[in-house]
Amino acid sequence: MFGIGASDDEPLTQRPRREDIAALAPYADADRNTLDTLLAASALRSLDNARVPSKWFEGHALFLHSGQVEIRLENTRRLFLSSVSPPARFPLPPAAVAGISALGTATLLQVPFSPTANTDAIRADFTVHGSDPLLATLSRIMRRKLDDGDIPLPSMPELAVRLNGALRERGADRDDRDVAKLIQLDPALATKVIHAVNSAAFRFARRADSVQQAVTRLGRERIRNLAVGFLLRHAFHTNSAVLRKRANALWLRSCHIAAISFTLARQLPMLDAERAMLAGLIHQIGALPILGMTDRNPELFGGTALVDRAVNAFARPLGRFVIERWQLGDDMLDVVQYAGDYQRIGHAVPDYADVVVLAQLHADMGRPGFHHLPRFDSLPAFRKLELGRLTPRKSLQALADAEQEILELRRILSGGS
């Protein structure tokens, strides 16, 4: 009667109540009719010291209703979620990215996916919402040019490609020295890596005097994220004097977001701070193809009058194309898709997209127009922080305490002294 197949080893408990669903983050603004429709196809399932079956996620969002679960992430890190904590109002991460087990007796609430709920459906197209004939025309042109391979997508720097390749060659006889040798091919990059690792932001007790020591301190994966982040500066270069100021402003803004993201992620054990920094640097990478098109076909943009509107409308789908081409991973796809989406729901476990959204809002504090932005503590991403060493209240204090570290890392990333 719940619309969900049950078997003897998947016991149903009682039917959930309407208020159980209304209390969940994706359905907080749902009307009574929507809640009743969801309620008719929802179910409560109980587990006792057992792993959540992957098929429970099929066609449904799954929430922790009562008890406690252990969440094992792909990176082998373990988290514990209690039903009384704020993150329990968010969907559990799917079985593809996490293993979830009940600790003792736990009850899970299955809710069918709903097109009217705030469940972050990805829209990676060039659809223009609203009545803007210029953007609508530009949308059709961009879609055709992308199909023809005629949009100037930025290329990942060659050394970054080699670093990614070195870490993807599983089973190859590679060690820290191989990664260090690749970084040393670019003396400027080597200097930045050592400078960053020795900065206050990384908080190592002993200095690293060589790239090899820096790699040993951070490990190959973390040093790769750091090095690729530094190399991305080349992707923001343009020969156009008209667009150079825009590209440079975009890079400096990205460096600011990256430094804040690094600081936040350092307090979240499920995330790597260096990858959060990379997420901050690439969160607006989709603007670069638009700048490239403006340089190549200025008549499409009325000179530069349409550029800002085009960035707002098309940076997300173009950013996804760039990240897919660069093979930076699904977590970075989410970053470019949801950057600036302050009401993004995501999952109960904070991810890099959550961190970047928080960093964006924090970076805008005190700027003109800030009072029109949502309150920091109203963001869904903000309410998930209890799964880390931060509480929502402590997160703002942690950023305030790390202000000098953020400024230093921002200078290092942007190329300042």
Q: Is 366 left (phi over 0), alpha (psi -120 to 50) or beta?
A: left
- Per-residue pLDDT of 4-44, as tens digits, reads 334 445 555 578 999 999 999 999 999 999 999 999 999 99
Q: How buried is residue 85: exposed, middle or buried, by Cβ count under 10 Å (0-12/13-18/19+)?
A: middle
Global pTM reads 0.88
Contact 124, 316 (CB under 8 A): yes
Write the DSSP assignment of 185-233 as a string of letters: TSHHHHHHHHHHHTSTTT--SS---SHHHHHHHH-HHHHHHHHHHHHGG
- Per-residue pLDDT of 130-174, as tens digits, reads 567 888 888 888 888 888 888 888 888 899 988 888 777 654 445
> Under 8 Å CB-to-CB from 179, ≥6 apart: which residues?
163, 166, 167, 215, 220, 223, 224
According to DSSP, residue 384 is labeled G
Residue in the structure block whose two tokens are 């960093």: 359
Domains of the chain: 18-112 (2.60.120.10), 133-154+237-414 (1.10.3210.10)
Of 371, 363, 200, 199, nearest to 280 (Cα)? 363
Q: What does DSSP say about strands 43-48 and 60-66: parallel, antiparallel, or unpaired?
A: unpaired
Q: What is the mean pLDDT of residues 64-93?
A: 92
361 pLDDT tier (thresholds 50, 70, 90):
very high
- Per-residue pLDDT of 219-255, as tens digits, reads 888 898 999 999 999 888 888 887 888 999 999 999 9
Stretch (H or E) spanning 78: strand 78-82
Q: Lowest-confidence range among 43-47, 67-71, 173-177, 344-348?
A: 173-177
Phi, psi of 67 (to 5 degrees): 90, -155
Cβ neighbours around 326 below 10 Å, total: 22
pLDDT (0 to 100) of residue 118: 55
Residues present in the chain in total: 417
190 pLDDT tier (thresholds 50, 70, 90):
very high
Contact 214, 193 (CB under 8 A): yes
pLDDT (0 to 100) of residue 392: 57
State which amino acid sits at residue 314.
F
Alpha helices in 241-338 (DSSP H): 241-265, 273-282, 287-296, 307-326, 330-338
As a whole number of angstroms, the distance between CA 388 and CA 386 comes to: 5
Stretch (H or E) spanning 378: none
- The whole-chain average pLDDT of the chain stands at 85
Can you tell me whether residue 385 is helix, strand or coil? helix
Q: Lowest-confidence range among 212-216, 291-295, 366-370?
A: 366-370
First to last CA, the chain: 66
What are the C-alpha distances in Å from 244 to residues 79, 189, 198, 296, 417? Answer: 45, 22, 31, 14, 21
Contact 320, 353 (CB under 8 A): no
As a whole number of angstroms, the distance between CA 303 and CA 14 comes to: 63
Of 314, 359, 364, nearest to 337 (Cα)? 314
Percentage with pLDDT > 70 across the chain: 87
Contact 349, 93 (CB under 8 A): yes
As a whole number of angstroms, the distance between CA 236 and CA 106 comes to: 49
Phi, psi of 217 (to 5 degrees): -65, -45
pLDDT at 288 over 80: yes
Query: Sheet holding 60-66: strands in order across?
Result: 43-48, 105-112, 60-66
